[in-house]
Amino acid sequence: MIVASAPFGVLFGALAVQTGFTVGEAVLMSATVFAGASQMVGIELFGKSIPAWMIVLSVFAVNFRHVLYSAAFGRRTAHWSVPRKAFAFFFLADPQFAESERKVEAGETIGFVWYMGLALPMYGLWVLNTWLGALFGRLIPDTHALGLDYLLPIYFVGMLMGFRKRPLWLPVVIASGAAAMVAHSWVGSPWHVSIGATAGILLAAFMPVNAAARTDAASRKGITGDPT
């Protein structure tokens, strides 16, 4: 996972400098925002003379999914003190949330030391890679041939597949995917994230609860799913 996020840190640093950030500003953004996808959206908008409030709003829209991570994560860490939670929320990025949810699915509780043991190296490397990327960005020969510009979607596919055993996974993926594509064409980026996710979440919430619970229980017992 750390290996997976490393190219994005370097890429972000390199692209940020090319859109007019200083090295210090690129590092500042990674150190304070710490949310890769939204940082990429942010620097893309900086390069297009878009009003400041619109850039901040776009970062907020891309990161709005963290509201949902936060709500889910808060349930898992009810045993933590308030300052610990307040500190931990800063680091609640996509991979951090995914790993925490996976730990809960494995039947374990999330400890503060385990959480920070994952968060701090990820954070340190993210900032360090941004700095390296900003310093040496212009030396990366051909980001297209190396596939660096398309590693983010591949990374998200891997994340998505990791959750495929959850109830209603496929219907949620189809609903979110369709809504996101329509919203991307008609409303535009970055709103496809919020609109698409809302469609999938509403679908899951409004499916008959008992049916969902049965599917969940059945798959746990191995009745449905794998026919072998």
Partner 1 sequence: MSEIAWIVLAAALMTYLTRAGGHLVLSRFSRIHPRVEAGLNAVPAAVFTTLIAPAAMNASTAEALALVAAALIGLWGGMFPVFLGGGLVLIVGRYLLG
Q: Is 223 in the site for partner 1 (CB under 8 A)?
A: no
Q: Is 155 in the site for partner 1 (CB under 8 A)?
A: yes
Q: Which two tokens stand for residue 162?
A: 């990791």
Q: Is 133 in the site for partner 1 (CB under 8 A)?
A: no
Nearer to partner 1, 140 or 207 (CB): 207
Q: Is 21 in the site for partner 1 (CB under 8 A)?
A: yes
CB of residue 217 vs partner 1: minimum separation in angstroms?
Answer: 13
List the one residue from 117, 121, 124, 147 that touches partner 1 (CB under 8 A).
147
Q: Establish how many alpha carbons lie within 13 A of residue 121's alpha carbon, considering only the half-sphere containing its beta carbon.
A: 11
In the region spanning residues 73 to 132, those forming contacts with partner 1, defined by CB under 8 A, are: 73-75, 85-86, 89-90, 92, 94, 97-98, 101
CB of residue 110 vs partner 1: minimum separation in angstroms?
Answer: 13
User: How many residues touch partner 1 (CB under 8 A)?
Assistant: 96
List the one residue from 49, 107, 141, 164 that touches partner 1 (CB under 8 A).
164
Measured distance CA(91)–CA(125) in Å, rounded? 13
Helix, strand and coil percent figures for the chain, each rounded to 5: 75, 0, 25
Q: Is 180 in the site for partner 1 (CB under 8 A)?
A: yes
Q: Establish how many alpha carbons lie within 13 A of residue 43's alpha carbon, considering only the half-sphere containing its beta carbon.
A: 26
Contact assessment for residue 13 and residue 40, using Cβ atoms and an 8 Å cutoff: no
∠184-68-214 over CA atoms, to 5°?
A: 100
